[in-house]
């Protein structure tokens, strides 16, 4: 209750104007403070549904205005696979996955030692000998000069191993070395060299990208 003056035995007198103004300002300040507290309480109760509603809103995916929320599709495997066959050959070329799959497929089983013990898998692809025959290695003059060729097999990370052409030649070791694009019936994201007969997979180059004939 606002006091407007004071009374005593001799009578009542009006309060000074300055006092009345201060009392009115204080009343206005109290009303504003009450309004702020009420607004704060309303904000604390947002969103509808309390904590559960807030959790649901936080779980909604965020996206820019006008953009769809569906994730981008990965690039197709076929667009990532290229194998360069170069060096001392008459027909150097770069093979795509479609080129390799157009050739007669061969499936072999290979067992390699791992930390968990021997592991056997089946691999499907193209025999390396088939690719070499199509590229036509250039031989030096002399007897059995084709046996002097060495093949350098390189992965995308630079890892490189060597094979002697005699390991592939059907008249000699006749190994069914494979440029594989599938494992256990499933397409793989990159090519892999498979050398059956090796005890370990050290020459099974992953992500094979280049073959150089020397």
Cα–chain center distance at 78 = 16
Query: DSSP for 117-173?
Result: EEEEEEEEEEEHHHHHHHH-B-PPSSTTGGGG-EEEEEETTS-EEEEEGGGT-TTTT
pLDDT digits over 12-39, tens only?
A: 455 555 565 666 766 666 766 666 565 5
- Extents of the domains making up the chain: 13-72, 77-213
Please give the helix or strand (H or E) that residue 112 lies within, else none.
Answer: strand 106-114
**Distance (Å, rounded) from C-alpha 24 to C-alpha 29?**
9
The model's confidence at residue 158, banded by pLDDT at 50, 70 and 90, is very high
pLDDT for 6 beyond 70: no
Q: Which range, of 57-66, 70-79, 89-98, averages the lowest pLDDT? A: 57-66
Q: 35: helix, coil or strand?
A: helix
Provide the pLDDT for residue 52: 46
177 and 91 in contact (C-beta within 8 Å)? Answer: no
CATH architecture of the domain with residue range 77-213: Alpha-Beta Complex (3.90)
pTM over 0.85: no
Angle at 154 between CA 206 and CA 149, to 5 degrees: 125
Provide the pLDDT for residue 79: 53
Average pLDDT score, the chain: 80
Q: Which range, of 52-61, 78-87, 124-133, averages the lowest pLDDT? A: 52-61
């Amino acid at each position: 209750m606002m006091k407007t003056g004071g009374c005593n035995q001799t009578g009542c007198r009006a309060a000074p104007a300055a006092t009345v103004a201060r009392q009115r300002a204080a009343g206005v300040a109290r009303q504003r403070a009450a309004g702020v507290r009420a607004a704060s309480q309303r904000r604390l109760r947002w969103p509808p549904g309390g904590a559960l509603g807030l959790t649901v809103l936080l779980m909604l995916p965020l996206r820019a205005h006008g953009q769809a929320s569906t994730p981008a599709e990965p690039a197709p495997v076929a667009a990532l696979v290229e194998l360069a066959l170069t060096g001392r050959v008459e027909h150097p070329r770069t093979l795509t996955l479609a080129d390799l799959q157009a050739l007669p497929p061969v499936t072999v089983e290979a067992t390699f030692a791992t930390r968990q013990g021997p592991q056997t898998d089946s691999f499907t692809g193209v025999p390396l000998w088939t690719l070499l025959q199509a590229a036509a290695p250039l031989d030096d003059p002399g007897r059995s000069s084709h046996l002097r060729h060495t093949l350098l097999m390189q992965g995308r990370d630079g890892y490189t191993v060597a094979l002697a052409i005699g390991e592939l030649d059907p008249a000699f070791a006749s190994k069914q070395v494979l440029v594989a694009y599938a494992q256990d019936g499933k397409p793989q994201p990159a090519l892999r060299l498979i050398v059956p007969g090796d005890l370990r997979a050290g020459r099974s180059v992953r992500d094979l990208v280049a073959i150089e004939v020397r």
